Chains A and B, each alone.
Chain A
Amino acid sequence: AQSVAQPEDQVNVAEGNPLTVKCTYSVSGNPYLFWYVQYPNRGLQFLLKYITGDNLVKGSYGFEAEFNKSQTSFHLKKPSALVSDSALYFCAVRDINGYNKLIFGAGTRLAVHP
């Protein structure tokens, strides 16, 4: 069965420090992977995606993610966290059964402290 796991409910980081939000996936074949961010009472904003090509994907707001096929991971990273990065982050994989549906992880709340 296809699935996405975000093992951490919450990640706490000091401003200026690097951050990592973890994501692992389980899907047969080549995965299409996505990261979205959600601010309170708002919809999701697209951050970045991996479909093919370079394993290191750069996205919006200085975020990047590394696709690791052997570890089936797609961790989200940023070299220097900002307080404004505090939000809910979702990892997703496209459903291989078609219709371009996305399967979302449970979400990880990132809290960046001044």
Chain B
Amino acid sequence: GAVVSQHPSWVICKSGTSVKIECRSLDFQATTMFWYRQFPKQSLMLMATSNEGSKATYEQGVEKDKFLINHASLTLSTLTVTSAHPEDSSFYICSAGEFGESTDTQYFGPGTRLTVL
């Protein structure tokens, strides 16, 4: 299957700082990428849908000014957690989709564990 990478795999930061997470599709072009967060022993919660060249679509309850998403190219989307606080500590996972007549699959990155002190 297709490969999606994330960087960094883990990050520890101080409260009030901003953290950028990168998501790359390595062997295909992804017009759409998705950002999720996952709390321990819970399912994935979709945060936003990132479309190349346009503004991201945020899910209800997700602060767009807090979680900045940029999808500058067909292979790269970034999530910036601004002014991070301990409650933002979570596992953040991105996915990139191949969508077409015969394909309809999201491929997930390995995740980024964010710990805010």
Whether A and B are associated in the same complex: the answer reads: yes
Query: Looking at chain B, what size class is its interface with the partner chain?
Result: 20 to 34
Residues A107 and B43 in contact in the complex (CB < 8 Å), given A41-B111, A99-B57, A100-B32? yes
| Chain A residues within an 8 Å CB radius of B114 | none
B interface, over-half SS: strand
Q: Mark B23-64, 1 if CB is under 8 A from A, else 0.
A: 000000000101000000011101001000000010000000
Q: How many A-B contacts at CB < 8 Å in the complex?
A: 54
Q: Which A residues between 81 and 114 are near B, CB-CB below 8 angstroms?
A: 90, 94, 99-102, 104-107
Most chain A beta-carbon neighbours within 10 Å: one of B6, B42, B104: B104
- Asked whether, in the complex, the Cβ of B42 is within 8 Å of the Cβ of A43, the reply is no
The interface-forming segment of A21-29, A45-53, A68-76 is A45-53
B109 to chain A, nearest CB (A): 5
Report if A101-B93 is in contact (Cβ < 8 Å); known contacts: A41-B113, A43-B109: no
Q: What are the nearest 10 A-B pairs in CB distance?
A: A43-B108, A44-B108, A43-B110, A43-B111, A104-B43, A106-B43, A43-B109, A43-B93, A104-B44, A100-B99
Chain B residues within 8 Å of A, Cβ to Cβ: 1, 4, 6, 32, 34, 42-44, 46, 49, 57, 91, 93, 95, 97, 99, 104-111, 113
Interface residues of A (CB under 8 A from B): 32, 34, 36, 41-46, 49, 51, 90, 94, 99-102, 104-107
